[in-house]
């Protein structure tokens, strides 16, 4: 088991290096605005632009830039400096991380609980009206874009512009340590929006798994033992049906940590997604690269955790 | 099978039956039509005795047993008739009262022990659960009981193996664990649905011996469901042969093996290799396949596969009736009992069904021959034996 973890971790590092390298080349070779010109603003004399270029290290050869960047990232855990604000990218990201973590982890709890609950009820009431209604709703939520759901949520429920003003609206985010109550209130709508689509996918996944599991022989055995139906469903059924959910939840959290751009933008939550969005509009490569490397890291770590988690969830899985 | 008093399997002696099933019918409504899974069966099980229910896949034997413990209710089954367990009609009990009987007074074990045990829970925890479902005992006490049970069913080093997962057990050990689980609350009746079908032949004998020993020690009654007459030959006191949801022959095991009366029973006996039969004796498969339970053959349901059927048999539905001179032996067959005896005599003498038919002097049976599948005598012996296996090895529904 520990050998498996070490091997997976080493592969993870290799993968991260490859991803980081590809990202660097992508930003250099795909068409984009010239960061030096953007930085120069209105004072765009060739001399100033050249000076900025030298300043940012953009005058060096691509290979030299690449080598420097990789050395900094993997040798010194230094993600470089923002072209725009000159601040270290790592600091900017760490600054924004709590907001994104709040959004994503809270959202994950919401989508896990609602998705699993709706999935179970739909499975044991399969093909009833309740099941059709929940699965229909799920389909709508899966199809609805997050930013649209976000705007609808604000339009309906936010304190400033909402028809039913019951929750704080956009831009109301405060840090957990500053004011826990306000932190919680301000995140209710974003959590619901970020969870909606995923909860719908989980509900459909759990429903399918549960229906399949409930026809297994060991469910018949559990009933033949004289267990209550509640115990048959929630212990024997759910325990077997939940494994695939654990697989996807790690990945979903990993993906969202690096890319909750839309929801953070709609609700003006100062998280990594929002940082990324602003950086893209300024062609601030180091920040964009830094956030994408972070996303890659989250996904790689999530993958390893999922594989390890599997060994604990399913005793038949043994890594060597 | 219109009346009950003359159609009870295992009716011997005046003891009160533990389980009395009367005119049980189980139907499922499907898109293709109504499935008559069980079509009016009557049998009884006396305390401490063993009833063998024998038949091919899809003959309704599993459905009838699942219905006994109330597990076909949630499958949407339409159930009629009575299932009296110690006088209580199980078809009328509430789900909660039935739950208290399941796994407690009536336990059931199934064909495939690997898929019947939960793969993600330790064997011990599944046993503990079985104990605690019906007994208000502490986890520690239930675990002690689990270890004791594993020892009882012959699992070596039970205090260590109790923490294993099912996939760490061999096939035979898994079935032993299933049996241990069924015995957790010392049931009065154990229903064993094809308990040995998924196991190696050597292990089959061990499991049957175990069931026999446990039956003696715990004095419980057993209903053993199988397609394999070899399995029940040793164990069963009484036998009921099922075909297309009905019982076609019931008697004591001894009588069924020595003087079977129904052509289907003959087919079962002649198509299965058993210890004691000589190697020269050819296996004769039953031609054709079990009928659809949605659109069943007219008249005697067995007539399309019966080598001895007469045209009239496609019209008249035979009732389960006592064999002349043997009040505890019932058969549902339209052939004259004298003819049946001559036919069986011929088959026992190694004749093929066609030869037996000629010997018995029955001439008007050819009327249905054109509609029948090729008779086994037209095939090579080896092929015939294999076809017989294929017909019977499909496993229960």
At B275, give phi and psi (nearest 5°): -60, 135
What residues of chain B have any CB closer than 8 angstroms to a CB in chain A?
Answer: 69, 71, 95, 99-104, 107-108, 110, 112, 115-121, 129-130, 133-134, 165, 167, 178, 181, 184
CA closest to B96 among chain A residues: A228
Confidence band of A232 (pLDDT split at 50, 70, 90)? very high
DSSP annotation of B287: P
Q: What is the CA radius of gyration of chain A?
A: 24
- Domain of A23 in residue numbering reads as 2-76
Percentage of chain A modeled with pLDDT above 70: 99
Residue B128: the pLDDT is 97
B102/A226 Cβ within 8 A:
yes
Residues A24-33: contacts with CB within 8 Å, 24+ apart? A24/A65, A24/A66, A24/A69, A24/A70, A24/A289, A25/A66, A27/A285, A27/A288, A27/A289, A28/A62, A28/A65, A28/A66, A32/A283, A33/A283
Residue B3: the pLDDT is 41
Confidence band of A83 (pLDDT split at 50, 70, 90)? confident
Asked whether residue A44 falls in the same domain as residue A160, the answer is: no
In a domain, A319, yes or no: no
Asked whether residue A57 falls in the same domain as residue A104, the answer is: no
Q: Are B248 and B320 in contact (CB under 8 A)?
A: yes
Q: What is the CA radius of gyration of chain B?
A: 22
Q: Which residues contact B324 (CB under 8 A, 6 or more apart)?
A: B337
CA A94 to CA A100: how far, in whole Å?
10
Give the tokens for residue A172: 């109301």
CA B70 to CA B93: how far, in whole Å?
9
Residue B362: the pLDDT is 61
Partner residue opposite A224 with nearest CB, options B95, B103, B115: B103
Domain end position, chosen among A41, A76, A111? A76
Distances (CA, A) of B26 to A224, A227, B19, B74: 19, 24, 17, 13
CA closest to A220 among chain B residues: B116
CA B196 to CA A100: how far, in whole Å?
58
Distance from CA of A216 to the nearest CA of B (A): 7
Strand order, beta sheet including B106-109: B106-109, B189-193, B221-226, B50-54, B238-243, B246-252, B326-331, B321-323
DSSP annotation of B57: T
pLDDT digits (tens, 9 = 90+) for A145-187: 988 999 999 999 998 888 999 999 888 899 999 999 999 999 9
- When the pLDDT of each residue in chain A is averaged and rounded to a whole number, the result is 90
Give the tokens for residue A81: 């400096």
CA closest to B65 among chain A residues: A224
Asked whether residue A291 falls in the same domain as residue A166, the answer is: yes
Distance from CA of A314 to the nearest CA of B (A): 6
Give the tokens for residue B49: 């005795």
Give the residue extent of every domain in chain B. 108-184, 260-392
CA A290 to CA A96: how far, in whole Å?
12
Task: Tell me how many degrees the CA angle B179-B180-B182 measures, rounded to the nearest 5.
Answer: 60
Contact list in B for residue A315 (CB cut-off 8 A) is: 119-120, 165, 167
CA A108 to CA A254: how far, in whole Å?
11
ipTM of the complex: 0.83
Asked whether residue A119 falls in the same domain as residue A194, the answer is: yes
Distance from CA of A310 to the nearest CA of B (A): 12
Mutate one of B98, B121, B165 to test the A interface: name it (highest A CB count within 10 A).
B121
**3-state SS, one letter per residue, for chain A:** CHHHHHHHHHHHHHHHHHHHHHHHHHHHHCCCCCHHHHHHCCCCCHHHHHHHHHHHCCCCCHHHHHHHHHHHHHHHCCCCECCCCCCEHHHHHHHHHHHHHHHHHHHHHHHHHHHHHHHHHHHHCCCCHHHHHHHHHHHHHHHCCHHHHHHHHHHHHECCCCCCCCECCCCCCCCCCCCHHHHHHHHHHHHHHHHHHHHHHHHHHHHHHHHHHCCCHHHHHHHHCCCCHHHHHHHHHHHHHCHHHHHHHHHHHHHHHHHCHHHHHHCCCCCHHHHHHHHHHCCCHHHHHHHHHHHHHHHHHHHHHHHHHHHHHCCCCCCC
* CA-closest candidate to residue A296, choices A3, A14, A5, A97: A14
* CA-closest candidate to residue A309, choices A223, A218, A242, A235: A242
Asked whether residue A195 falls in the same domain as residue A297, the answer is: yes
Residue B107: the pLDDT is 97
pLDDT digits (tens, 9 = 90+) for A9-52: 999 999 999 999 898 888 778 777 777 877 777 777 888 888 88
Mutate one of B90, B93, B120 to test the A interface: name it (highest A CB count within 10 A).
B120
Q: Are B149 and B217 in contact (CB under 8 A)?
A: no
At B150, give phi and psi (nearest 5°): -65, -35
Mutate one of A211, A218, A232 to test the B interface: name it (highest B CB count within 10 A).
A218
Q: What CATH number did the domain enclosing A97 receive?
A: 1.10.3720.10
Distances (CA, A) of B12 to B7, B46, B214, B252, B254: 12, 9, 23, 9, 13
Partner residue opposite A227 with nearest CB, options B108, B133, B184: B133
A236/B133 Cβ within 8 A:
no
pLDDT digits (tens, 9 = 90+) for A270-290: 999 999 988 888 888 889 889
Asked whether residue A128 falls in the same domain as residue A260, the answer is: yes
A218/B117 Cβ within 8 A:
yes
* CA-closest candidate to residue B263, choices B220, B318, B215: B318
Residue B370: the pLDDT is 41
pLDDT tens across the length of chain B (397 residues): 444 444 445 444 567 899 999 999 999 999 999 999 999 999 999 999 999 999 988 899 999 999 999 999 988 899 999 999 999 999 999 999 999 999 999 999 999 999 999 999 999 999 999 999 999 999 999 999 999 999 999 999 999 999 999 999 999 999 999 999 999 999 999 999 999 988 888 899 999 999 999 999 999 999 999 988 888 888 999 999 999 999 999 999 999 999 999 999 999 988 877 656 666 667 778 888 889 999 999 999 999 999 999 999 999 999 999 999 899 999 999 999 899 999 998 888 888 888 888 877 665 544 444 444 444 444 444 443 444 343 443 334 3
Confidence band of A269 (pLDDT split at 50, 70, 90)? very high
pLDDT digits (tens, 9 = 90+) for A105-137: 999 999 999 999 999 999 999 999 999 999 999
The mean pLDDT of A86-102, rounded to a whole number, is 92
Distances (CA, A) of A146 to A194, A263, A312, B135, B219: 7, 7, 34, 52, 66
Size of interface A-B (CB pairs under 8 A): 69
A227/B129 Cβ within 8 A:
yes
Domain end position, chosen among A15, A43, A76? A76
CA closest to A215 among chain B residues: B75
Asked whether residue A60 falls in the same domain as residue A119, the answer is: no
Max CA pair span of chain A: 85
CB atoms within 10 A of CB B394: 14
Asked whether residue A263 falls in the same domain as residue A164, the answer is: yes
Number of domains in chain A: 2
Q: Are B187 and B106 in contact (CB under 8 A)?
A: yes
In a domain, A279, yes or no: yes
pLDDT digits (tens, 9 = 90+) for A178-221: 999 999 999 999 999 999 999 999 999 999 999 999 999 999 99
* CA-closest candidate to residue B1, choices B55, B37, B40: B40
CB atoms within 10 A of CB A215: 9
Asked whether residue A230 falls in the same domain as residue A113, the answer is: yes
In a domain, A213, yes or no: yes
Asked whether residue A30 falls in the same domain as residue A164, the answer is: no
In a domain, A318, yes or no: no
In a domain, A6, yes or no: yes
In a domain, A84, yes or no: no
Q: Are B115 and A218 in contact (CB under 8 A)?
A: yes
Domain end position, chosen among A76, A99, A121? A76
Asked whether residue A173 falls in the same domain as residue A201, the answer is: yes
The stretches of B110-170 forming alpha helices (DSSP H) are 113-116, 123-132, 139-152, 158-161
Mutate one of A123, A127, A212, A221 to test the B interface: name it (highest B CB count within 10 A).
A221
Contact list in B for residue A223 (CB cut-off 8 A) is: 71, 102
Partner residue opposite B129 with nearest CB, options A225, A229, A313: A225
Contact list in B for residue A218 (CB cut-off 8 A) is: 115-119
Helix (H) or strand (E) segment spanning residue B345: helix B337-348
Contact list in A for residue B95 (CB cut-off 8 A) is: 229
A217/B133 Cβ within 8 A:
no
Asked whether residue A131 falls in the same domain as residue A257, the answer is: yes
> pTM, whole model, 2 decimals?
0.83
């Amino acid at each position: 088991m520990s050998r498996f973890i070490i091997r997976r971790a080493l592969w993870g590092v290799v993968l991260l290096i490859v991803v980081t390298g590809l990202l660097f080349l992508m930003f250099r070779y795909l068409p984009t605005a010239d960061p030096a010109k953007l930085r120069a603003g209105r004072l765009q004399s060739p001399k100033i632009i050249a000076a900025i270029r030298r300043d940012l290290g953009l005058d060096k050869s691509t290979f030299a830039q690449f080598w420097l960047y990789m050395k900094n990232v993997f040798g010194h855990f230094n993600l470089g400096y923002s072209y725009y604000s000159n601040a270290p990218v790592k600091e900017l990201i760490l600054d924004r991380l709590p907001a994104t973590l709040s959004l994503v982890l809270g959202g994950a709890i919401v989508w896990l609980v609602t998705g699993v609950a709706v999935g179970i009820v739909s499975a044991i009431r399969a093909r009833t009206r309740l099941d059709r209604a929940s699965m229909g709703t799920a389909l709508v939520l899966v199809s609805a874009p997050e930013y649209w759901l976000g705007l609808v949520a604000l339009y309906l429920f936010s304190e400033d512009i909402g028809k039913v003003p019951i929750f704080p609206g956009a831009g109301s985010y405060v840090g957990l340590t500053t004011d826990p109550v306000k932190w919680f209130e301000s995140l209710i709508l974003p959590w619901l929006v970020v969870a909606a689509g995923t909860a719908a996918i989980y509900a459909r996944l759990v429903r399918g798994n549960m229906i399949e599991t409930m026809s297994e022989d060991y469910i018949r055995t559990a009933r033949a033992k004289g267990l209550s139906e509640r115990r048959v469903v929630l212990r024997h059924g759910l325990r077997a049906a939940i494994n695939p959910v654990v697989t996807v939840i790690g990945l979903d959290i990993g993906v969202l940590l690096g890319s909750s751009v839309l929801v953070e933008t709609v609700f003006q939550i100062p998280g990594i997604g929002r940082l990324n969005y602003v950086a893209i509009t300024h062609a601030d490569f180091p920040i964009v690269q830094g956030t994408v490397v972070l996303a890659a890291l989250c996904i790689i770590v999530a993958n390893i955790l999922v594989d390890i988690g599997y060994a604990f969830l399913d005793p038949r899985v043994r890594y060597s | 099978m219109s009346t009950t008093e003359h159609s009870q399997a295992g009716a011997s002696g005046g003891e009160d039956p533990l389980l009395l099933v009367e005119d049980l019918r189980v139907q499922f409504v499907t898109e293709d039509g109504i499935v008559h899974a069980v079509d009016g069966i009557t049998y009884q099980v006396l305390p401490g005795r063993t009833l063998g229910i024998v038949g091919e896949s899809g003959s309704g034997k599993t459905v009838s047993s699942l219905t006994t413990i109330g597990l076909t209710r949630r499958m949407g089954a339409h159930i009629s008739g009575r299932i009296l367990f110690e006088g209580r009609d199980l078809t009328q009990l509430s789900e909660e009262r039935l739950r208290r009987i399941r796994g407690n007074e009536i336990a059931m074990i199934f064909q495939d022990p690997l898929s019947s045990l939960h793969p993600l829970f330790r064997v011990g925890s599944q046993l503990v659960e079985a104990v605690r479902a019906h007994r208000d005992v502490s986890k520690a006490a239930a675990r002690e009981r689990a270890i004791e049970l594993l020892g009882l069913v012959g699992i070596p080093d039970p205090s260590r193996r109790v923490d294993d997962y099912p996939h760490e057990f061999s096939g035979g050990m898994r079935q032993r664990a299933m049996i241990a689980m069924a015995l957790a609350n010392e049931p009065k009746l154990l229903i064993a649905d094809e308990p040995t079908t998924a196991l190696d032949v050597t292990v089959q004998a061990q499991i049957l011996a175990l069931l026999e020993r446990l039956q003696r020690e715990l004095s419980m009654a057993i209903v053993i469901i199988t397609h394999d007459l070899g399995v029940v030959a040793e164990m069963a006191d009484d036998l009921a042969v099922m075909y297309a949801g009905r019982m076609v022959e019931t008697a004591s095991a001894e009588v069924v093996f020595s003087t079977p009366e129904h052509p289907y029973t003959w087919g079962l006996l002649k198509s299965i290799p058993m210890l004691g039969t000589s190697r020269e004796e050819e296996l004769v498969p039953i031609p054709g396949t079990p009928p659809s339970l949605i659109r069943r053959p007219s008249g005697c349901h067995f007539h399309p596969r019966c080598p001895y059927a007469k045209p009239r048999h496609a019209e008249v539905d035979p009732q389960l009736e006592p064999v002349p001179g043997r009040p505890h032996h019932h058969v549902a067959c339209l052939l004259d009992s004298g003819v049946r005896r001559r036919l069986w005599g011929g088959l026992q003498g190694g004749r093929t069904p066609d030869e037996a038919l000629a010997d018995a002097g029955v001439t008007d049976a050819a009327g249905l021959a054109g509609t029948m599948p090729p008779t086994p005598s037209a095939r090579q012996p080896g092929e015939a034996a294999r076809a017989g296996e294929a017909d019977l090895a499909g496993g229960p529904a």
